[in-house]
Amino acid sequence: MKRFTFFALVVFILAVGGLFALGPSGTQQVQTSFLEIIAPFLQRGSDVERKITAVRQGLKTLRELEAENKQLAVSNKELQAINQTLRDLESENNRLRVAMHYRERAAFQLVPARVIARDASSWWNTIKIDRGTADGLESDMPVLTESGLVGKTGAVGEHVATVLLISDENCKVASTIEGTREQGMISGERGSGTSQPALCMQFLSKTANLKPGQKVYSSGVGGVYPAGVFIGAIKEFRVRELDGYATLLPAVDLTTLEDVFVVLGKK
């Protein structure tokens, strides 16, 4: 061990002496040669260091990722809510456009009204609208939409009125069937528990032989409802002991009523 240390010391002394003996130009040449030898190793080390630094800068902490994920989730819900609102507004705009077009071309003087209340205990019997005597309404005025007949006004206040729906058994409408001379009386079916109640048409002849899909309109008899208002379509025809009997599907979807028209009279 001592010999090795002595040998290393002798070599170091000779190397230092050699450097001094070479002079400045020789020393610079040796340094240049040494740098050329170790340059590839220095370059590799620098590349590795830069890559490690870039990876460290690109990585985010778990807490930062969780916060960003929560923010993205909130933004997504906000966008979904905005999108749904825009779809609802578009749907309402289209519905009102159709209703106003119907009002313009209708042969009746119509007052638009909005459904403001509906009692669960009388869901298929009545609704309340935001029009009353201040708007010219009276009892027993027809109520309809662009799709067909809804019912008639009942009790009327100054700014609110009750509408008796055609699905109520007490709301009777004299009617006629397209393509036939058949006439009958339409009313709601007692105790109908379906989501879209059927209407019944009585006092038809036994030989009526009605087909599903035939349209039924108000006949104008009785003076409450004007003639020619669409009520519904035949669903089924049956012969009873004394007369013919038909069930109808209402023209108006009574489950989704929002806006209606009250007929004040002819234009």
Average pLDDT, the chain: 79
Parse the chain into domains and list their residue ranges.
Answer: 173-255
pLDDT higher than threshold 90 for residue 186: yes
* pLDDT value at 116 more than 80: yes
* 173-255 placed in CATH 2.40.10.350: yes
- Residue 16, pLDDT above cutoff 60: no
Structure tokens that stand for 64 in this block: 């930062």
Query: Using one digit for the tens of pLDDT, what is the confidence trace for 41-96?
Result: 555 555 555 655 655 555 556 677 777 888 877 777 777 777 666 565 556 555 55
Tell me the C-alpha distance between 207 and 15, whole Å.
Answer: 131
The per-residue pLDDT for 79 is 72
Rounded average pLDDT over 257-261: 92
> Which residues are registered as beta bridge partners of 152?
142, 164
Spatial neighbors of 161 by CB under 8 A, at least 6 apart, are: 113, 128, 129, 131, 132, 137, 153, 154, 155, 262
